[in-house]
Amino acid sequence: MAALELLSDEGYRVDGRRAAELRKVRARMGVFAQADGSAYIEQGNTKALAVVYGPHEMRGSRSKALHDRALVNCQYSMATFSTSERKRRPHGDRKSSEMTLHLKQTFEAAILTQLYPRSQIDIYVQILQADGGNYCACVNAATLAVIDAGIPMRDYVCASSAGFVEDTPLADLSYVEEAAGGPQVALALLPASEHIALLEMNARLHEDRLEEVIEAASRACKAVHAVLDRVVRDHVQEATAL
C-alpha cells in the first residue's frame, strides 16, 4: 500500500480527524437574487452551490410533462478549476451524467411532486472545489436550496459518505481517502423516518461489514441534518426579523 496511512495507530486520519468525525460544515441559504432558491455549502474543502428554479411551466417539449406530478430536472456540473487537474468537460461526461441521474432520483423521492402537476422544477448544482464527497455536498446543498425556494419536501435529504479501513468504518471521506481505493458507500437518508433515498457502494466489502458501514454513514447523515436544520432556522429567523 502507499506510504500514506489512512488511519494511524492512535486512531487519527490523514487530516487529523477521528474515524467517525465529520468535516466542518458551513452553509448559507438565499445567496442569489435571480433564483427561486439557492444555497452554498462547504464541507471541509469541498464547496458546492445549488440553485433551484421552480416550480414553473414546462420548457421545451410539452409532451414530456407528467399529468399528475412535477418533473424534476437536475444538472450537475463541476467548475474547470475545481479539481487539482484542470477538468476539460464540465458536463456531458459520463461521471456527471451519472451524478445528475442520481440527484434526480433522490429528489424525486423527497419532493412532494404530486402538488405540482404538469410543471417542472430545475435543480442546478455546481461544484466550485472538489475534495471528496462531491455527491454528498451536492445533495445537502440542493436540500437547502429546495427549502429556500419554498418547495415542500417529505423531510430533509442528508447525505454522507463512509468507507472502511482496517476494521474501522470512516465517516465523510475526503479526496485522499476516496482515491486510496477502499470500499466506499454514499448514503442519502431522510433522517426522521430513517428511510434511505439512495445507497451506492463501490469496491468489495464483506457482507457482515455492510451493517457497520451503513450505521456509520447514517450517524453522519443525522449529524449533517442537525447542522442543516440549524442553518434553516437561523435563516428564517433573520428573514422574518426584518
Partner 1 sequence: GSITTADGSALVKLGNTTVICGVRAELAAPPVDSPNKGYIVPNVELPSLCSTRFRPGPPGEEAQAASQFIADVIENSQIIEKEDLCIANGKLAWVLYCDIICLDYDGNILDASTFALLAALKNVQLPAVTVNEETGLSEVNLKQKNPLIIRKHPVATSFAIFDDTLLIVDPTAEEEDLATGTVTVVTDEEGRLCSVHKPGGSPLTGAKLQDCITRAVTRHKEVKKLIDKVIKSIQPK
124 touching partner 1, by CB under 8 A: yes
Task: Answer yes or no whether residue 218 interacts with partner 1 by CB under 8 A.
Answer: no
Give, to the nearest 10 degrees, the angle between helix 207-241 and helix 134-149: 30
Question: Which residues within the stretch 14-33 sit at the binding site for partner 1 (CB under 8 A)?
Answer: 31-33
Query: Strand runs (DSSP E) across the chain, as ranges?
Result: 25-29, 37-43, 46-57, 71-78, 119-129, 158-165, 168-171, 184-190, 195-202
Residue 21: DSSP 8-state: P
Mark residues 82-101: x for contact with partner 1 by CB under 8 A, - for none: xxx-x---xx----------
The reply to whether 129 sits near partner 1 by the rule CB under 8 A is yes
Which C-beta is closer to partner 1: that of 12 or that of 175? Answer: 175
The residue (of 53 and 164) whose beta carbon lies closer to partner 1 is: 53
Q: SS3 sequence, 107-149?
A: HHHHECHHHCCCEEEEEEEEEEECCCCHHHHHHHHHHHHHHHH
Contact stretch for partner 1 (CB under 8 A) within 11-19, 126-134, 149-157, 176-184:
126-134
The contact pattern for partner 1, residues 49-68, with x = CB under 8 A and - = no contact, is x-x-x--x--x---------
CB of 70 to partner 1, least distance (A): 16
Of the chain, the end-to-end C-alpha distance in Å amounts to: 57
Q: Which residues contact 241 (CB under 8 A, 6 or more apart)?
A: none
In the complex, which residues of this chain contact partner 1 (CB under 8 A)? 31-35, 45, 47, 49, 51, 53, 56, 59, 75, 77, 79-84, 86, 90-91, 122, 124-126, 128-131
